[in-house]
Structure 1
Amino acid sequence: MAKWGHGDPRWIVEEREDGTNVNNWHWTERDATAWSRGKLRELLVGIAVENEAGRAELCELKQVEGEASCSNRKGKLIFFYEWNIKLGWRGTVKESGAKHKGLIEIPSLSEENEVEDTEVNVSKKKGDGDVLKDLMRTAGTAKVREALGEYLKALKTEFTLGMILPTKAMAAQELTIQRKLSEDAMQAPSPAALGVRIPTAALRLTERFDASVEQLYSIFTVKELVQKFSKSAAVLEAEKGGKFQMFDGNITGEYVELLTNKKIIMKWRCRNWPEEHYATVALNFVPVLGQTELQLDCKGVPVCKEENMKFCWEKQHFEEIKGLLQLATLHG
């Protein structure tokens, strides 16, 4: 028998009282469906192509049906994904200025086929504008397949962080993130000082939770709880001027104001936003008949990113937090 803390890491048991499934060695599975929907939206919506005939871009994720998951068996990661995706595109013919719309359909993105062999069908509404359809069928299809490849890369790297040797890996990852945040803070001016002027939009959402204001407030300010609902490592300095980083670095920002159990104001940005651009997110916690109403006001969201932002909060925050609260209730 190996000494305590030595030997093959799958048998190191000091981190678990029962030593069962230590370091996720035997079998673990993680549902990647909600994460995948957000990632596909992030990577596909906004893709633009242009030539001498015109310009076209993917403007809407109309449908994303299917599922994805990742399993760990004895240190080996096994992926399953199957998606049926439908996107809307729009474009303008340069010579005439005529505008046209159409669809891109990806009937089967799965592990059974290579990305370069994935079927991508382009269609257009009736009328002229075939030059735009041809543009989307050639350059557009190439960019779509490139984005799908990025999704699969992220699924196999970002999403799986912590699935093997989670405690030690997460600690190392947190240390790296903290070091990066410190370096950025020392080397770069503040977001407010830099500023980036781009067209922006506002977003307002309201959601009720079966929790007290104290419970819900803590979910946004306690690192361990953020890591539970986001299913990824996080760095939080829950104080005025403190930095935060969540969802494997896809979300970063700074706390502007914290009124305990009442309000949180943050500078907030997604990784794919224009460099140095931050939105302002305000969270108000309002007790209502034994529940807590969360009022979200967001200003400064880049135009064309509103749907992504809405999806991020509704699916990756609100739904996951409700699931976390239900688990707490069941085990309470």
Structure 2
Amino acid sequence: MAKWGEGDPRWIVEERADATNVNNWHWTERDVSGWSSQRLRQLLLGVRVEGSEGVCQLTDINKLDGEASINNRKGKLIFFYEWQLRASWLGTSSSGLKYRGTVEVSNLSDENDVDDLDISVSLCKDQPNTPLLDLMRRTGVLEVQRVLGEYVYQLKSEFSQGMVLPTTRGPKPSPPELSKKNQIKSSKTQISCSSRCSSSRDPCPTAVRIQTCRFNLKETFQTSPDELYKTFINEEFLQVFMRSAVVVDSCRGGRFQLLDGSISGEFTQLELDQRIEMRWRFRTWPSEHYATVSLELEGRGDETELRMECRGVPAGEEDSTREGWIRFYFQAIKQTFGY
């Protein structure tokens, strides 16, 4: 048995004012079933697809059974969610006739990728056959997949905030008197306050050094560089493919807020039709911490190759950030504009 004052540091609580889960050793759980149910309804009722056959949209959620939770064990987050849902859709043909049907998803869970979901679309029994059914099966299913993927992304980013607490062995704040030479350690360390805040409009709190990482992506779009360039900085374009309210000031130094404020940042460099650089952050990241995102556009005949570099992503957020850019930027642009 350890002597008084020599116990396992994982159990010492005196060093934390809140005496909560020191070093993330204990199992903690957060029930997010209520938020999940509300958010799934909001996302699904926003599904609307249009084609030469007419227009279809989800009008009601008839069944939404399941649960969701976030668990923390030894600093590792474990996500659990399992949902079964059924929604009604209303279609209006190009000639004005109305048709009704249903969409069912039986296996939305942490064990299945969004692309592997079983999504079935059918007409109500009293409805005659219509080309709108093909529209829902062809395009509606993809849109349902997209919004369910957005739910999973928000669950793993926004609602994991605060589940993993700073530990007594974690990095310490940099003393303010350190010189710039001593503050800059490596590309994997978020550095001085002055480096992170490029504008006096952004007051900086005391800088906290955190471990960060970077990643690169490459994507080809079937459009010209000037069209793709506008898609990333124009407020109307962003609002269309993100399907939510956005605020964008498309000039150097201009601010933006996307996905109802979940994403925010500032354009730091804009080279017309060639390059976009921005300070970019997700709302749940440490306060005032921004990643640096650069987008290089190069025309190749009828195509444009986009090369992306993202630096300064908080450690542990790399996979969700990469997945978010692929799904909610690249794939959404292609599905919305046909690029």
TM range (shorter): 0.3 to 0.5
Quick check: which one's helix share is greater?
1
For the pair shown, which has the larger CA radius of gyration, 1 or 2?
2
TM-score (norm 1): 0.46
TM-score (norm 2): 0.45
